Amino acid sequence: MKNKNIYTNNVVWQFFASIKLAVVILFFLAATSIIGTFIPQNASSAFYYQKYGEIIYKIFSILNIFDMYHAWWFLMLLGLLIINLIVCSINRLNFVWKIIFPENIVFNVERFRKIKEKYKFVSKKNINELKGQYKTFLEKKFKKVIIKNTENGVAFFIETKRWTRLGAYIVHFSILLLLFGVIIGSLFGFKGFVQIPEGKTIDTVKIRKNSKIQKLGFKVKCNKFDVSFYDNGSPAEYKSNITIFENKKQILIKDIIVNDPLKYKGITFYQSSYGTTSIKQVSIAIINPRTKKTYIKQISQGQEIILPEKRGKFVFYKFVNSYNFHGHNLGETFIGKYIDNNEKAFKIIIPLKFPLFDKMRKGHFIFKIKELEKKYYTGLQVTKDPGVWYVYAGFIFMIIGCWITFFLSHQSFCIEILEKEKNNNVLVSGISHRKTQNMKIKITKLGQKLMDM
Amino acid sequence: MDSSMVLSITTFVYGFASFLYIGSWTFKKELMAKLGMIILILGFAGNTFGILMRWKESYEMGYGHAPFSNMYESLVFFSWTMAFFYIFVEYKYKERIIGVFGTPLIFLAIAYASLAPNIHDKITPLIPALKSNWLIAHVITCFLGYAGFAVGFGFSIMYLLKPEKKKQKFFWSRLPSTSIIDELVYQMVIFGFLFLTIGIITGSVWANSAWGTYWSWDPKETWSLITWFIYAILLHLRMMRGWHGKRIAWVSIIGFMAVLFTYFGVNYLPGLHSYL
Ligand code: HEM
**What confidence score (pLDDT) does residue A434 get?**
76
Q: Is residue B165 very low, low, confident or very high in pLDDT (cuts 50, 70, 90)? A: low
Q: Is residue B232 within 6 Å of ligand 1 at its C-beta?
A: yes
Q: Which of A386, A382, A385 is nearest to A204 (CA)?
A: A382
Residue ID of nearest Cα to ligand 1 atom 22: A172
A417 vs A424: CA distance, rounded Å: 7
Same domain (yes/no): B41, B134: no
Radius of gyration in angstroms for the set of CA atoms belonging to chain B, rounded to a whole number: 19
Same domain (yes/no): B141, B76: no
Low-confidence ranges of chain A (pLDDT < 70): 1-8, 278, 435-437
B105 vs B103: CA distance, rounded Å: 5
Strands of B101-259, DSSP E: none
Residues 104-143, chain B, touching A (beta carbon < 8 A): 124-125, 127-129, 131-132, 134
Looking at the 3D structure of chain B, how many domains does it have? Answer: 2
Same domain (yes/no): B154, B266: yes
Same domain (yes/no): B141, B105: no
Domain hosting B77: range is 1-123
Q: Which of A382, A352, A347, A386 is nearest to A369 (CA)?
A: A352
| Closest CA–CA distance from residue A219 to any residue of chain B (Å) | 20
CB atoms under 10 Å from CB of A269, counted, come to 26
| Closest CA–CA distance from residue B90 to any residue of chain A (Å) | 14
Same domain (yes/no): B154, B32: no
A199-211: b (≥16 Cβ within 10 Å) or e: eeebeebeeeeee
Q: Is residue A166 within 6 Å of ligand 1 at its C-beta?
A: no
Report the amino acid identity of residue A107.
F
CB atoms under 10 Å from CB of A214, counted, come to 16
**What confidence score (pLDDT) does residue A3 get?**
47
B231 and chain A: CB distance < 8 Å anywhere?
no
- The CA–CA distances, whole Å, from A292 to A185, A285, B150 equal 65, 12, 70
A59 vs A243: CA distance, rounded Å: 49
Same domain (yes/no): B111, B164: no
CB contact under 8 A, A33 and B132: no
Q: Of the CATH numbers 3.30.1380, 2.40.50, 3.30.70, 3.30.310, which one belongs to the domain with range A109-158+409-451?
A: 3.30.310
A251 vs A248: CA distance, rounded Å: 9
3-state secondary structure of B276: coil
What digits encode the pLDDT tens for the residues B81-107? 999 999 998 888 888 888 888 899 999
| Closest CA–CA distance from residue A161 to any residue of chain B (Å) | 19
Q: Is residue A405 within 6 Å of ligand 1 at its C-beta?
A: yes
Q: Is residue B274 very low, low, confident or very high in pLDDT (cuts 50, 70, 90)? A: very low
**What confidence score (pLDDT) does residue B4 get?**
84
Same domain (yes/no): B212, B200: yes
B208 and chain A: CB distance < 8 Å anywhere?
yes
**What confidence score (pLDDT) does residue A142 get?**
81
Same domain (yes/no): B209, B259: yes
DSSP track, A172-204 = HHHHHHHHHHHHHHHHH-EEEEEEEETT-EEEE
Cross-strand pairs, A348: A336
Maximum CA pair distance of chain B? 62
B275 and chain A: CB distance < 8 Å anywhere?
no
Same domain (yes/no): B175, B109: no
B240 and chain A: CB distance < 8 Å anywhere?
yes
Same domain (yes/no): B70, B47: yes
| Closest CA–CA distance from residue B188 to any residue of chain A (Å) | 11
Same domain (yes/no): B139, B273: yes
Residue A248 backbone zone (phi > 0: left; psi -120 to 50: alpha; other: beta):
left
A286 vs A294: CA distance, rounded Å: 6
End-to-end CA gap in chain A: 45
Same domain (yes/no): B147, B269: yes
pTM above 0.95, yes or no: no
Radius of gyration in angstroms for the set of CA atoms belonging to chain A, rounded to a whole number: 38
Residue A263 contacts by C-beta under 8 Å, 6 or more apart in sequence?
A: A269
- The CA–CA distances, whole Å, from B213 to A185, A381, B9 equal 10, 10, 42
Sequence ranges of the domains in chain A: 11-95, 109-158+409-451, 162-186+386-408, 187-275+377-385, 278-375
Q: Determine which helix (DSSP H) or strand (DSSP E) holds B136, and give its type and residue range.
A: helix B133-161
CB contact under 8 A, B131 and A235: no
Task: State residue B20 phi and psi, 5-degree precision.
Answer: -65, -40
**CA of B226: which chain A residue's CA is closest?**
A30
Interface test with B, best of A23, A35, A37 (most B CBs within 10 A): A37
3-state secondary structure of A257: strand
Residue A426 contacts by C-beta under 8 Å, 6 or more apart in sequence?
A: A120, A121, A122, A123, A130, A415, A416, A417, A418, A447, A450, A451
| Closest CA–CA distance from residue B158 to any residue of chain A (Å) | 19
CB atoms under 10 Å from CB of A263, counted, come to 9
3-state secondary structure of A305: strand
Residues 226-245, chain A, touching B (beta carbon < 8 A): 230, 232, 234-238
Residues 5-34, chain A, touching B (beta carbon < 8 A): 19-20, 22-23, 26-27, 29-30, 33-34
Q: Is residue A84 within 6 Å of ligand 1 at its C-beta?
A: yes
Cα A30 to ligand 1 centre (Å): 16
Cα A165 to ligand 1 centre (Å): 12
> Residue A194 half-sphere exposure, CB side, CA atoms within 13 Å?
26
Q: Which of A23, A401, A390 is nearest to B198 (CA)?
A: A401
A75 vs A373: CA distance, rounded Å: 51
CB contact under 8 A, A34 and B230: no
Q: Is residue B276 very low, low, confident or very high in pLDDT (cuts 50, 70, 90)? A: very low
Residues 358-417, chain A, touching B (beta carbon < 8 A): 381-383, 385, 388, 391-392, 395, 398-399, 402-403, 406-407
Please give the average per-residue pLDDT across B62-77, as a whole number.
Answer: 84
Final residue in a domain of this structure, among B79, B94, B123: B123
